Structure 1
């Protein structure tokens, strides 16, 4: 799971480089977002293997794990409370309400043609 400092103006800047998991919340205290993030941290190896970057979306802004603004994105749903998985091709692959289920996300990623190709390439 990448939490490095990223500077971008929109999610398109990450296209073809990483998959992005966006944790979104509309509540000021972001309780469910924080709970989801703590759960993610227990699977760091799995996120890294799948080249997933985690971003947070609230107040119509994207943030990294250091709470630095990464960018603004008008394409994300404004009143959504849950998580979005965005593939390397830039399309939304999964949109779910909380609670976050890492295995469900891993299964979705591992079923993607690009991921299957990555797995084959890493085993040769």
Structure 2
């Protein structure tokens, strides 16, 4: 008896059927729903595409901040290098193995296989 009562409660009444026919199956409601589905999923400027583009913008803004800090660091190094002759000489000797006349340079290379075993 209790099971039959639950089944009757689930079945739609005439009021709910009338509500469905007048409001849910209305051509304007269906058109608006279809338009919203189209705009969210299928359009070129859909919500999903805009969300993806916003993610890319965030990634590029992070890269911009990184490059700004790198630029500032390199700019200060360049200014220091161009204004100080001893810094310029030190940089040339360390990175380009330049030398003074009548001077010898010895380059020491560490064997990486022996370092890894220790």
TM-score (ref. length: structure 2): 0.20
Higher strand proportion (structure 1 or 2): 1
Higher helix proportion (structure 1 or 2): 2
TM-score (ref. length: structure 1): 0.20
> Larger relative contact order (C-alpha < 8 A, sep ≥ 6)?
1
